[in-house]
Structure 1
């Protein structure tokens, strides 16, 4: 039997989808705009990176060609310099929304065909019924924030008052989400998680996709910084995903990063959750070293989105892409005959775009491994084709959505 590794580069989109205008994202293009910015010097940052975007291994796997197929434009410096060594194409999202659960669930064979609930961009943002219940059940003196906000900005705004009053900081965005920030030591990490579990239960009534714990540390003198102990409390997928199918068929499953959270820890096998892109990629590579025949590793690299996309940090995003690209040979080095690697994304988060939110984009699909036939797999009409192809590669019948290209 074969093995498979699926890596989601969180938010690495390659051009606005056909329905991007409905989301306010017509013209967005995460990879394309980063490449253009780097070619023009806007991606330079002393001590971090400089010059054109340099992604030789992903370019050789068809990234530039996928971008060109998606948008009609080849991004600067991403054209392959030799024959492409893998299969490449791009995926079109059919799910409602442009958030993490929608993208990942569709990749795993469950497109979101219902409307998520969202909190209005008003102050207060949350229904009084919800906040009153959260305060009562969480034994809180009250809450702070109660509005749409950037996660880093709202911590700076309310951290001192949080320490003075003991009130957690609650905020949201255009995504279907309730985020709760609190000081790891002063408020307590476990207490924050317990509060988010209460919030998860309360948010079900409003069809909110995720409640996210956002712990931070620091003092007024040193400043405040979010830690790596973020935890997402997601509503479970409404139908069986490829994780359920593989688990039921007796295949080994390893999930890395926030995959366990996204799928509500259902059929997520051995969960490994280190902090940061490098640590998550190392964990995925290590898992492949010992993965039995027929096994599946599903990894998410979140820093592209959380650290650089939302913060509209073009140099940081470019540096993160280049750092990942440098490690692609490490992935190849652990592959055995019959192994398949798929690199893709779940949505866009164009750091050159207005606002701080995700962008509705096509995603790249790059496939390589011993025995993978090079060439175009074309436009895939649903992210679910990715999950269907994983199942086909592993010899498991697909009971759900998607069409395999294998």
Structure 2
């Protein structure tokens, strides 16, 4: 029997609401992505998000209402449940946040490379270079991706050595020129590296292709590809797929889940393109479908770059597209707005920040309600499981009928 309705998850990568009880443990005491952006900007125009309860959820999370200013002109008129979620995974990284919201929290410690040069063990680099047939690597430290490409891009073109770097996340990143090094060759190199970093318990190897011929012209392309380990347990994505449903990933979702539980992967990058793809897939999705989008620019382009104004403009643009999604939702459909961690652009450093994240559920038949502070991101996955009448997940408590 076909399960009715479609679910859509709008995952605003890094959109934290402050207030995490364990923030100090991560060196993030006082971080508040939304609150600090609104204060630094002197206001935000997000009337549709406000109508769905975002600002009330943020106040409940951090204890202070965001200084967003009056919110007039909302064009969305759907009832919503709203609140915030706490993370129980041991990290504040992309994989942990995404997996937990799908019902698979990370209860082990990831491996990390040290931030200072040389970040990577010599034995590891020797194995990768020998198998890949490359003369060596550049970088070998923790760095901003855009900055290290600017620093070493010309030398990379001249020597053929890929630029390898890490961050505060459990990652091994490889940047290489699409034309001079070759995109397929970069992907193959990342596959080799992924195999060799496994003993170090590293979550992801990320291919970071770029273009341009000299300093000042280098620019990363949309052909990023993540090589990820698999979630440690069954997720709601697996449950949907195994029961005959459709799981449509937009952006980097498929990579983050190592393609597990995905029936269709749609490539897109940039806020506008991601929204266009999401709306197209949601409109075409049959009953018993989940459309799951990662809006990566909030993290990659603005959070990590500590670009407060860019983040604010991104939030305002995101808000303007919500009525389009609402207009094409039919009776029984539900949509969620959430995030995987924080990345406060006003905070010290360039790393993710440990924060609560929003959880908003809206749709034609939703009963409006404040659902409080949830004890785990997995509550979202459990809610989706109950919505589709699937077996309960191991973690999380549904708020579908709260």
> What TM-score, normalized by structure 2, do the two folds share?
0.96
Q: 1:397 aligns with which of 373, 391, 400?
A: 391
Aligned to 2:161: 167
Following superposition, the deviation at residue 2 of structure 1 comes to 1.9
Q: Which residues of 2 match residues 241-260 of structure 1 at below 5 A?
A: 241-260=235-254
Aligned to 1:74: 65
Aligned to 2:33: 30
Q: Please tell me the root mean square deviation across aligned C-alpha atoms, in Å.
A: 1.4
Aligned to 1:49: none
Aligned to 1:137: 131
For each residue in 1:45-101, what CA deviation from the matched residue of structure 2 results, as whole angstroms up to 9, or x when unmatched? Answer: xxxxxxx21100001101101100101100012676799941100000000111100
Aligned to 2:344: 350
Q: 1:341 aligns with which of 335, 345, 349?
A: 335
| Counterparts of 1:24 and 1:274, CA distance in 2 | 33
Alpha carbons 1:64, 1:78 under 8 Å: kept = no
Aligned to 1:371: 365
| Counterparts of 2:121 and 2:279, CA distance in 1 | 44
| Counterparts of 1:221 and 1:66, CA distance in 2 | 44
| 1:57 has 2:48 as partner | yes
In structure 1, runs of 5+ residues without a counterpart are 40-51
| DSSP-derived class of the 2:212 partner | strand
| 1:359 has 2:358 as partner | no
Q: State the aligned residue count.
A: 394
| Counterparts of 1:22 and 1:363, CA distance in 2 | 17
Q: Which residues of 2 match residues 279-290 of structure 1 at below 5 A?
A: 279-290=273-284
| Counterparts of 1:80 and 1:323, CA distance in 2 | 14
Q: 2:91 aligns with which of 97, 115, 119?
A: 97
Aligned to 1:179: 173
| DSSP-derived class of the 1:113 partner | coil
Cα 1:246/1:306, change in 2 over 3 Å: same
In structure 2, runs of 5+ residues without a counterpart are none
Cα 1:387/1:181, change in 2 over 3 Å: same
Following superposition, the deviation at residue 227 of structure 1 comes to 0.8
Runs of 4+ more than 2 Å apart: 77-85
Alpha carbons 1:122, 1:147 under 8 Å: kept = yes
| Counterparts of 1:194 and 1:103, CA distance in 2 | 27
